[in-house]
Amino acid sequence: MKNQEAVKMTEAQANTEKPFGFADKLGYMFGDFGNDFTFILSSMMLMKFYSDVMGVSVGLIGVLMMAARFVDAFTDVTMGQIVDRSRPTAKGKFAPWIRRMCGPVALASFLMYASWFKNMPMGFKIFWLFFTYLLWGSIFYTSINIPYGSMASAVSADPKDRAQLSNWRTIGATLASTVIGVVLPVLVFYTDQAGNQVLSGSRMSIAALVCSIGAVICYLLCIHMTTERVKVEQKTEKFDLGELITGLLKNRALVGIVAASICLLLAQLTLQSMTTFVFPNYFKNTAAQSATGLVGMVITFICAAFTVKLSQKFGRRELAIFGSLWGAAVLIIAFFLHVTNAWVFVGIYALSYVGLAIFGLICWAMITDVIDDTEVLTGERSDGTIYAVYSFARKLGQAASSGLSGLLLSLVGYSQATAYNRDVVNGIYNITCLAPALGFLLLAVILKFLYPLTKGRVENNTAVLTRNRAGQ
């Protein structure tokens, strides 16, 4: 269909291009490894850095991070349109964007942790936080993450292959989380004369530089190892913002996955970011904090061994609902137990992480299900635009996590002066349990009552698209 987004692979291309294989999965894994070198670093450490090192109020930090994410309503959709309207190259349609933007996103991430400005006036430090956070998240991260996410549908048209890419993408994110979660607490905290675990600004800046270099290396490996086999045509229709918004709002599957992603990120990032407060301040044990990073990797690898098979048997939506309810139940029990042993809490963290791992391993395949469902309903394929909306939803989840964490920490009285007071640290423990549990519960409700892509509907969409493409 001329001038319409469609997926085409000629017989000659099928004969000359290497088949989908391990190199694609490993390469795609490196893409999210690179993404999360900066994303997880920001989610886990930025609020802690600006509150403890730069002296900025946690409430203000949360508000600024939330405000920055609303800018993404424009930059994400704009980048999605740019990607959809890009002309395919010999390397593909999406990989060239990763190559162009890997350097800028890494540099912007490093600049966010400018400990050399800690003695500057407060107004300047607040400006620097907001400016660099916008530069990193709203511009450069957007310009690399949207083409990277859209690439999955071009690497293979087979739903099983896409499920494997989703699995490997989550493994890449988990490896980055492990490096940051295990190594950083050991390197960037030091013990002061009172026995408190304190964040070092200069060490944090060095760690941010190392993470930025690692991100660039991972992005280049992604470009080199993956192959875009499904040829996605350039979209040339005139852009109509009103029509786009109307179409998106009528897309129940997209609305459902957007709402689910916000809740997922609320649960995941709040749980991860609060480890940088609950372990140093409540438990006074950063070694246990490091262990949570390792635990997350182990749980993800264990779940990865059976998630694809279970999702094929029961359906991705159905499996995600189970994982969400499991995670919520574990954290609610932890709240009532109010444990005082750091290593017992590591075990609780591990059990709750099963819920995150299950949904995290299949969520990227779920967005390709939404893209397919949209094509079946409308006859048009808009990988970049739909993924841009999904990316924006994840950033809203990040903003909700940052804003909620900052607000709740402010309500319990957290500041540089009160960081180790008994009432404050007990409040930190309660936030760590209840805020992620709320996110899990909302996620289960949305998937059950709003998100429509059951196992049967996904299978039917695949059959319809296979017949349509065979007839082209």
Q: In the predicted model, what is the mean pLDDT of residues 109-120?
A: 92
Q: What is the 3-state secondary structure (H, E, C) of 145-178?
A: HHHHHHCHHHHCCCHHHHHHHHHHHHHHHHHHHH
pLDDT band for position 218 (cuts 50, 70, 90): very high
Q: In the predicted model, what is the mean pLDDT of residues 376-397?
A: 73
Q: In the predicted model, what is the mean pLDDT of residues 55-65?
A: 84
Q: In the predicted model, what is the mean pLDDT of residues 21-30?
A: 89
- Report whether pLDDT(315) > 90: no
Tokens of 410: 């402010």
pLDDT of residue 245: 62
Tokens of 240: 């109509």
Query: Buried (b) or exposed (e) across 248-280, using 16+ Cβ within 10 A?
Result: beebebbbbbbbbbbbbbbbbbbbbbbbbbbbb
Between 146 and 331, the higher pLDDT residue: 331
Q: Where are the alpha helices (DSSP H) in 278-382?
A: 286-314, 316-337, 342-378
- Report whether pLDDT(10) > 50: no
pLDDT of residue 189: 85
Between 387 and 7, the higher pLDDT residue: 387
Structural domain spans, the chain: 7-470
With residue 214 as reference, give the H or E element that holds it: helix 201-225
Of 39, 3, 138, the residue nearest 79 (C-alpha)? 138
Kindly report the CATH class assigned to 7-470. mainly alpha
- 24-38, 72-86, 212-226: the lowest-pLDDT one: 72-86
Q: In the predicted model, what is the mean pLDDT of residues 440-451?
A: 92
- Report whether pLDDT(3) > 50: no
Q: In the predicted model, what is the mean pLDDT of residues 186-214?
A: 87
pLDDT of residue 309: 82
- CA–CA distance, 257 with 251 (Å, rounded to integer): 10
SS3 197: strand
- Report whether pLDDT(88) > 90: no
Between 299 and 89, the higher pLDDT residue: 299
pLDDT of residue 21: 82
Cβ(309)–Cβ(414) under 8 Å? Answer: no
pLDDT of residue 244: 56
Cβ neighbours around 392 below 10 Å, total: 25
pLDDT of residue 6: 40
CA 193 vs CA 103, 200, 280: distances in Å: 40, 14, 15
- CA–CA distance, 425 with 279 (Å, rounded to integer): 10
pLDDT of residue 198: 82
Q: In the predicted model, what is the mean pLDDT of residues 106-128?
A: 93
- Report whether pLDDT(162) > 60: yes
pLDDT band for position 12 (cuts 50, 70, 90): very low
| Residue type, position 91, single letter | K
Q: List, for residues 232-279, the tens digit of each pLDDT value.
A: 555 555 555 555 566 666 788 888 888 888 888 888 878 888 888 899
Between 12 and 230, the higher pLDDT residue: 230
HSE-up (13 A, CA, CB side) for residue 238: 2
β-pairing, 231-232 with 197-199?
A: unpaired
- Report whether pLDDT(205) > 50: yes
Cβ(156)–Cβ(7) under 8 Å? Answer: no
- Report whether pLDDT(326) > 90: yes
Give 308's contacts (C-beta < 8 A, 6+ positions apart): 160, 163, 164, 167, 361
β-pairing, 7-8 with 197-199?
A: unpaired
Between 84 and 186, the higher pLDDT residue: 186
- 251-260, 296-305, 331-340, 391-400: the lowest-pLDDT one: 391-400
Of 298, 397, 296, the residue nearest 349 (C-alpha)? 296
- CA–CA distance, 93 with 76 (Å, rounded to integer): 17
Percent of the chain scoring above 70 in pLDDT: 89
pLDDT of residue 1: 42
Between 163 and 183, the higher pLDDT residue: 183
pLDDT of residue 116: 92
Q: List, for residues 351-360, the tens digit of each pLDDT value.
A: 998 988 888 7
- Report whether pLDDT(77) > 90: no
Tokens of 28: 């795609």
- CA–CA distance, 83 with 389 (Å, rounded to integer): 13
pLDDT band for position 4 (cuts 50, 70, 90): very low
- CA–CA distance, 245 with 250 (Å, rounded to integer): 9
3-state helix, strand, coil in the chain (%, to 5): 80, 5, 20
